[in-house]
Structure 1
Amino acid sequence: MIELIMDMKATEKRVAIKEDDKIVELLIDRPNSHPIEGNIYVGRVVNVLPGMQAAFVDFGQKKPGYLHRDHLCSYQTSTLSKSEKEQKGISHFVHQGEAILVQVVKEGEGTKGAKLTGLLEFPGTHIVYQPYGKYKAISKKMSDDKRQEWRKLLQEWLTSEEGVILRTASEHVEADVVETELLELQRQFLEVQEKQSADVKVPCLVHEEDHFLTKILREIPASEVKLAEVDDVYTSQLLKKKGYSVRFYQGKEGIFKRRGMEQELEKALKRIVWLPSGGYIIIEHTEAMTVIDVNTGKYIGKTGQKETMLKTNLEAGVEIARQLRLRQIGGIIIVDFIDMANDGERQQVLRSVQNAVQKDRSHVRVIGFTELNLLQLTRKKVREPLTEMLLQPCEPCDGKGVVFSVDTVTYQLERELMEFKGSDVEAVVVEASKEVVNKLMSLSSIMERTGLEIFFIKKDGVPRFEVRFAGSARDAKERLKTL
């Protein structure tokens, strides 16, 4: 069972997900960093490359997106036979300058543009609707009888051209609930088509994927949640309506600080992660991949070096699976475990990793060990890694290190100031870097929301802050003269 800790009052929204009393995911949403994955655009084809069987599409972002022939709607819906289609080049199905509907499958990273598809998907709580999907897929976790029941209903509800993926969460849900959801998703598709046919300026956004909270509730149904603790009235009421067990937090101290999540967040940004027996792993990010090194550290097994190495590797395998989720690491991952004596031990470690990644809601592929005994994995990138979201290069050391970004420090300060709301404190004196002060004052009604008069001492340097005084407005003005 899952526990949700939801920090939803401030500008930056944060949700911690705990499993077996351990934090496994930290989800963060900021006004200026909404992901575009799942969004649908009317884009303009700017280049067609027959040699790559691909097209590049301008959909309103900095870089054009990449679209393969096989993911074109015109290719999928063509009346040609499969063999005939495969013999045709991409130029038969799309041409330069054409306006087409595309959906973002994977966001761009570094020098790469986003990966696009013309085969649209509309996800819901119980189903994923695919207007051009043709196939009706039903979760294999359901019983055979239940699968047959659902297959019959889906055949009645959908045309042969339409497709759907029925989630496991649908197994014990009434058919009319799923049908109502399907009708809503079909309505969304019709809305997209209407916007495309209207006289819109290309490129343009025609469908935005559900926002932060809705997406979390869709991915984590109430049946899987033991308790959701939340500090915001609206969110609390919404969760209760959807059948979640909710505890409303009203403490003065921030909910993340109270529940120890701030410390967990700090740990999730460090290179070194300690293991229960005293070993540790080192996590290094490069542009091409993430490299993880396993070390025995201060652990010495009771029966010798062989036991030490195996136990450390087994612990590391489980912890690495958790860290991939917690840090939102995607792409290629290489793990350098401590050298093992034989294939039997390698298989033990491999199985421990395979079992641990099964809980991950992102697709993880455990490929296996290379000739150099390095374990290869890939993980689908769903969100921006925590280190990229929360940190920035350190200017004083010419980018050789990292510090908390302006946004991260600003939202930390906002949360600290909100803890004074409802107290006897009338005013505060805050010493902070200039960028942090400017960012804080751009937040909506910050003084009204905190109930404070805020005085600033602006400093140059890396993003930081310190609350130097909290008390009456009169004393704050006097203290300001001495600082």
Structure 2
Amino acid sequence: MSEEILINITPMESRVALVENGVLQEVHVERTQRRGIVGNIYKGKVVRVLPGMQAAFVDVGLERAAFIHASEISTREGNAAETISTLVQEGQSLVVQVTKDPIGTKGARLTTHLSVPSRYLVYMPRTSHVGISLKIEDEAERERLKKTVADCIAAEGIQETGGFILRTAADGARAEDILADIRYLRRLWDQISAQMQTVNAPTLIYDDLTLALRTLRDLVNPRIEKIRIDSRETFQKALGFVAELMPEVSDRLEHYPGERPIFDLYGVEDEIQKALERKVLLKSGGYLIIDPTEAMTTIDVNTGAFVGHRTLEETIFKTNLEAATAIARQLRLRNLGGIIIIDFIDMEDEDHQRQVLRMLEKQLERDHAKTNIIGITELGLVQMTRKRTRESLEQVLCEPCSHCQGRGNLKTPETVCYEIFREILREARAYQAEGYLVLANQRVVDRLLDEESGNVADLEIFIGRTMKFQVESMYSQEQYDVVLL
């Protein structure tokens, strides 16, 4: 399987596309004026302690105060049962790291369990634990990596406490690569430590890498054949970054100088547009309906035009298998997180159910975000979760519709006409007027003058006054005004 990473840079934004066998699997967007802050370390000030929620609000210099739970505050004694009031006081300075970006109306989420990542390792200065990614399953490799880290720490003569987590990328890594990572992380932590002592709250102490460099650190694996960057400046920065942290990747970096935009070349722009639509077409003729809500995301699977060749059960099974693959891709592409409920088409055969679940699990193995399939409910719905750290693609690129306020539908012209009639009746009872002027959208006025003309005439007789209508081109279908004449 060939994989490529495309990096598109403009002064306004950076975009990254992960393409597998010519098909877009992930897209990441970072606006220059609204960069993500996950991983950033701040010296903040506690502004409010909430004993009832076992949490506190911390001012780290953002638009909204950030939120930290008592369980995310480390103590020297390691006593997890301590209350928030004994852990922090208002006005106190606190060094914290962002674990979740501000999303919607919620402020950023924080922790004091600091960690700094490199290519193969995550350094945790406040623990002494050495852990290994669960995705590295081979027991012999896990033991080798653990021993390698211990040997490197001993060789460096590191005395003070500090723990490491070996990332999935460390699978098969050489001892000298891991040693280089440890040295890089030590240098970085020394810089952060020095700032922690000298700066005043609220201040940014450590700014995580830009999207382009973060991509090189987190997404590059042996399957990635090419990393194409369309900015000469970013390409030079990337060369310097990989020379220090991951020299074996240097020959895979490529500057793309073409006239045609790099995302157009691979059809990425069209795929991004499709990823914002509610309906996803399957090759068989079936389709998915994806509805993100505040509480969860629901995904409905339908056979659509697919009629199959054998039995109905076989048709349903084939559609569900195809849907499982498509759903795994859509979760990555749209960066959907939190609770996800999937309504596959009902299957009578339990073996078919197991195969569809296995297919979903297999496709989710390549997902960089942590996923957890809980199982099938009594109603036949698949429950799963996907770790949410950054805004979804829709939240980054879109805003709620100004006409329907995010409902996804509009009142019909007929409904608006009857609202206008009721408003006029209220006005007629409350005020004396010679007549009424109704300002409304074109479709509403057309209906008032056509299908509702009989009702208009009856209402004029009933209230003893005339009504005039005027089209307001800037009004949405639901907007109207009734003016006394």
Q: TM-score, normalised by structure 1?
A: 0.76
1:259 CA drift (Å): 2.0
8 Å Cα contact 2:149/2:178 also seen in 1: no
Structure 1 residue identity aligned to 2:207? E
Match of 2:6 in 1: 5
SS in 1 for 2:365: helix
- SS of 2:222 mapped into structure 1: helix
Q: Is the 8 A contact 1:222 1:244 kept in 2?
A: no
CA contact (8 A) 2:101 2:391 kept: no
Give the aligned partner of residue 226 of structure 1: 225
Deviates more, 1:318-327 or 1:158-167: 158-167
- Which residue, 138, 144, 147 being the options, matches 1:146? 144
Q: Could you say what secondary structure the match of 1:317 adopts?
A: helix
Q: In the TM superposition, what is the alpha-carbon distance from 1:95 to its structure 2 partner?
A: 2.1
Letter in 2 for 1:205: L
Q: Does 1:373 align with 2:380?
A: yes
Partner of 2:439: none
| Corresponding position: 1:195 with 2:195 | yes
Structure 1 counterpart SS, 2:325: helix
Mapped to 1, the partners of 2:70 and 2:402 lie a distance apart of 44
Q: Which residue of 2 aligns with 1:411?
A: none
Distance 1:111 1:263, change over 3 A: closer
**1:135 pairs with one of 129, 140, 143:** 129
Residues of 2 paired with 1:398 and 1:94: CA distance?
40
Contact 2:103-2:390 within 8 A present in 1 as well: no
Q: Which of 354, 357, 360 does residue 353 from structure 1 map onto?
A: 360
Q: Name the structure 2 match of 1:335.
A: 342
When residues 208 and 236 of structure 1 are mapped into structure 2, their CA distance, relative to the original with a 3 A threshold, is closer
User: In the alignment, which residue of structure 1 is the partner of 2:209?
Assistant: 210
Q: Secondary structure at the match of 1:334?
A: strand
Q: Which runs of 5+ in 2 are unaligned?
A: 244-248, 410-472, 476-485
Alignment of 1:28-427 (within 5 A): 28-73=29-74, 75=75, 77-78=76-77, 85-139=79-133, 140-141=136-137, 143=141, 146-156=144-154, 157=156, 158-159=158-159, 161-200=161-200, 202-221=201-220, 223-237=222-236, 242-395=249-402
1:465-480 alignment runs, 5 A limit: none
CA shift, 1:364, in A, is 0.8
Alpha-carbon RMSD = 2.6
Paired residue secondary structure (2:148): helix
Return the letter of the residue paired with 1:2: E
Query: Are residues 198 and 401 of structure 1, via their aligned partners in 2, closer, same or farther at CA, if it must alter by over 3 Å?
Result: same
Q: 1:351 to 1:394 in 2, by over 3 A?
A: same
For the Cα contact (< 8 Å) 1:55–1:68, is it kept in 2?
yes
Output the CA distance in 2 between the equivalents of 1:152 and 1:391.
48
Distance 2:104 2:258 in 1: 42
Report which of the two structures shows the higher radius of gyration computed on alpha carbons: 2
Unaligned stretches of 5+ in structure 1? 403-459, 463-483
- Note the alpha carbon deviations across 1:297-356, whole angstroms, 9 max, x for none: 000111121111111111111110100000111111111111111433222211111111
Residue 245 of structure 1, CA deviation? 2.1
Q: 2:310 corresponds to which letter in structure 1? A: T
Secondary structure (helix, strand or coil) at the match of 2:257 reads coil
Shift of 1:20: 3.1
Q: Which amino acid aligns with 2:49?
A: V
Q: How many residues align?
A: 397
Q: What is the rounded CA distance, in whole Å, between the counterparts of 1:38 and 1:119 in structure 2?
A: 11
1:110 match: secondary structure: coil
Aligned-partner residue type, residue 184 of structure 1: Y
In 2, the alpha carbon distance for the partners of 1:144 and 1:118 equals 28
Give the equivalent residue in structure 2 for 1:406: none
| Deviation at residue 397 of structure 1 after TM alignment | 5.6
C-alpha change, 1:248 and 1:57, in structure 2 (3 Å) is closer
* Partner Cα separation in structure 2 for residue 257 and residue 167 of structure 1: 33
Whole-angstrom CA distance in 2 between matches of 1:383 and 1:461: 35
Instruction: Please name the residue that 2:426 is paired with.
Output: none
- Tell me the residue number matched to 1:421: none
Q: Could you tell me how far 1:119 is from its partner in structure 2?
A: 0.9
How many Å apart are 1:97 and its aligned residue?
1.8
Structure 1's 189 and 249: CA in aligned 2 closer, same or farther, altered over 3 A?
A: closer
User: Which digits, 9 at most, give the CA deviation of each residue in 1:175-223, with x for residues without a partner?
Assistant: 34433432332333333333232252x2221111111111000012363
Asked if the contact 1:48–1:96 (Cα under 8 Å) also holds between the matched residues in 2, the reply is: yes
Return the letter of the residue paired with 1:356: Q
SS at 1:223's partner residue?
Answer: coil
- Structure-2 separation of matches of 1:120 and 1:178: 20
Greater mean alpha carbon deviation, residues 368-377 or residues 134-143: 134-143
Percent identical pairs in the alignment equals 37
- In 1, Cα distance between equivalents of 2:328 and 2:340: 11
| Distance verdict in 2 for CA 1:185–1:148, change over 3 Å | closer
TM-score if structure 2 supplies the norm length? 0.75
Corresponding residue for 1:16? 17
Secondary structure at 1:373 match in 2: coil
Residues 171 and 299 (structure 1), Cα distance of their counterparts in 2 relative to 1, 3 Å cut: closer
Structure 2 residue matching 1:365: 3-state secondary structure: strand
User: Within 1, Cα distance between the matches of 2:52 and 2:314?
Assistant: 54
Query: Structure 1, residues 350-405: CA drift from partner, whole Å, max 9, x if none?
Result: 11111111100011111111111111111112332111222233435665559xxx
Residue 141 of structure 1 and its aligned partner are, at CA, apart by 4.4
Q: Is the 8 A contact 2:46 2:91 kept in 1?
A: yes
Q: Is the 1:228–1:244 Cα contact (8 Å) retained in structure 2?
A: no
Structure 1 residues 150 and 282 mapped into 2: Cα distance closer, same or farther (>3 Å)?
same
> Taking structure 1 as reference, are residues 89 and 258 closer, same or farther at Cα in structure 2, changes over 3 Å only?
closer
Kindly indicate whether the alpha-carbon contact (under 8 Å) linking 1:136 and 1:154 is maintained by their aligned counterparts in 2.
no
Counterpart CA distance in 2 for 1:145 and 1:330 is 33
Determine if contact 1:60/1:203 at 8 Å carries over to the other structure. yes
